[in-house]
Structure 1
């Protein structure tokens, strides 16, 4: 992440990203469950057990009608996903940064280069996470979650009913989601870090990373929420041979959602999502930086 610090081999970057990802998901996962429930709800929320009028209403109804543990329903898939997902995010960002610096003949990162590097790392990350995301969405959905005993049963059921390639349903929408988030995240982090005073102590460095990561996470969330909404709906659609699903490709699906439910529907679940990925982005950066510094001290 920083050109001023000693570069470490890929395996160290991968391990630090994995530790950062698991730390973030353990703290912030309930917000992801609420975000997904709200995104999958077609139309405006109405009073009653079966619909949610907002984030707090969703929290309250899940706990009241399904139990507190439901807020952690499907966490096994994200835990299994977070290690390779976040590891790929940070490791790919650093590795692609080296590629682009060599390609453009520069020695230092710039904000445009950080955006390009982040976008490419996001695309790389998307290929890793699609099957895990698919299982997570099916388990988090109130209607389909109870049909499966767990992540493995869910994956086996999807393959049996919809075919092996169905595990990559929503790949295109996932690509857009991760390209936009990573471009915003790493691009904004670069700019915010450049604007902040240099940290003289580890505590100041932690605060700088927390602030930069949180702002970066918020910017990425603003950019990618519409693609995240349609990704959730694409992946929650059971594929039937010979039938074209309503939600299929990202941009046409965005148009469908905006036309039928209004433009604001493209930002369904934004509050729990930004509350997770804003501070979550800060947690990611703080833990990743701390673990990398620990590895450097070992070296």
Structure 2
């Protein structure tokens, strides 16, 4: 039987590097959609924005086009921590599974690995998540209440100075919970969709189609948890005690559909981000294998 033992393996550290780079590249493209999603979730109780397009128009009119990139430094930091951790850890798990069982992961194995990868990434990336939410929502606060962080480093320094180091992990529980759900669905389904679509597509077409389906499923499953995370990280008065408290209060006061408030911009943000992240990751991995390892085979994410 043919053996793959002779092939050089992708170094573990490159799995983390490629994962982080892919996430950062995708973030540069979808940052405006992330801002719209966050603004709509925060303003759900005030009805400030009628739709995603209304939010886009109002932000552009009152704050200018550069406002769509408020918090970009925090967004890139989040990808450099959260996505590096989750993508790298998942690839390491995936590679270990294939080497041990000499077969692609099953559906439940992929989901389990996605859960672990999400938890690891979320713990690492929570400080950047807090800074990102605050920076993107700052311009809608009254001038006297704005934090006016200069960049993500300034945000970290001032949060620790004014609120203590534990404030960087505010909302960590819902963040980890959301990340576990997101990665269970996103990473697990991507692997499965790649296997299912393999006989019909190849290369970029395969990666894009699998990522698009993965992005849709992930959006539906994670939206309520993302909304809870955003509300907790933005709050000042201790209005919410935790994730379940947010979900219960929002359902009671605003209706169950409010749990999916901002679904369109969230899908428009998470869908393309999923697609671009996986495409960039696949291409970065393929390029490293070809240039450094002399291996022209497709990646096995």
With structure 1 as the length reference, what TM-score do the two structures score? 0.88
Alignment equivalent of 1:58, drawn from 55, 73, 79: 55
Alignment equivalent of 1:106, drawn from 98, 101, 108: 101
- Residue 37 of structure 1 pairs with residue 34 of structure 2: no
Q: How many residues align?
A: 281
Structure 2 vs 1, CA of residues 26 and 208 (structure 1 numbering), >3 Å: closer, same or farther? same
1:130-279 maps to which residues of 2 (within 5 A)?
Answer: 130-141=126-137, 142-143=140-141, 147-198=148-199, 204-238=202-236, 245-279=238-272
- Residue 129 of structure 1 pairs with residue 125 of structure 2: yes
Contact 1:34 1:272 in 2 (8 A): yes
Partners of 2:76 and 2:94 in 1: how far apart? 27
Partners of 1:124 and 1:249 in 2: how far apart? 20
Alignment equivalent of 1:85, drawn from 49, 58, 82: 82
Partners of 1:274 and 1:86 in 2: how far apart? 18
Match of 2:275 in 1: 282
Partners of 1:145 and 1:205 in 2: how far apart? 47
SS in 2 for 1:52: coil
Residue 98 (structure 1) shift: 5.1
Residue 32 (structure 1) shift: 0.2
Contact 2:186 2:218 in 1 (8 A): yes
Residue 220 (structure 1) shift: 1.2
SS in 1 for 2:101: coil
Contact 1:158 1:167 in 2 (8 A): yes
Contact 1:199 1:205 in 2 (8 A): no
CA RMSD of aligned residues (A): 2.1
Structure 2 vs 1, CA of residues 160 and 238 (structure 1 numbering), >3 Å: closer, same or farther? farther
Contact 1:89 1:121 in 2 (8 A): yes
Partners of 1:117 and 1:69 in 2: how far apart? 38
Q: 1:16-56 deviations in whole A, cap 9, x for unaligned? A: 112211110011100000000000014262xxxxx111100
Q: 1:125-147 deviations in whole A, cap 9, x for unaligned? A: 10111000101111111215553
Partners of 2:23 and 2:200 in 1: how far apart? 24
- Structure 1 residue ranges without an equivalent (≥5): 46-50, 240-244
SS in 2 for 1:28: helix
Residue 153 (structure 1) shift: 2.8
- Residue 76 of structure 1 pairs with residue 69 of structure 2: no
Structure 2 vs 1, CA of residues 257 and 7 (structure 1 numbering), >3 Å: closer, same or farther? farther
Residue 156 (structure 1) shift: 2.5
With structure 2 as the length reference, what TM-score do the two structures score? 0.87
Partners of 1:98 and 1:197 in 2: how far apart? 19
Regions of 4+ moved over 4 Å: 98-102
Partners of 2:244 and 2:98 in 1: how far apart? 32
Match of 2:298 in 1: none
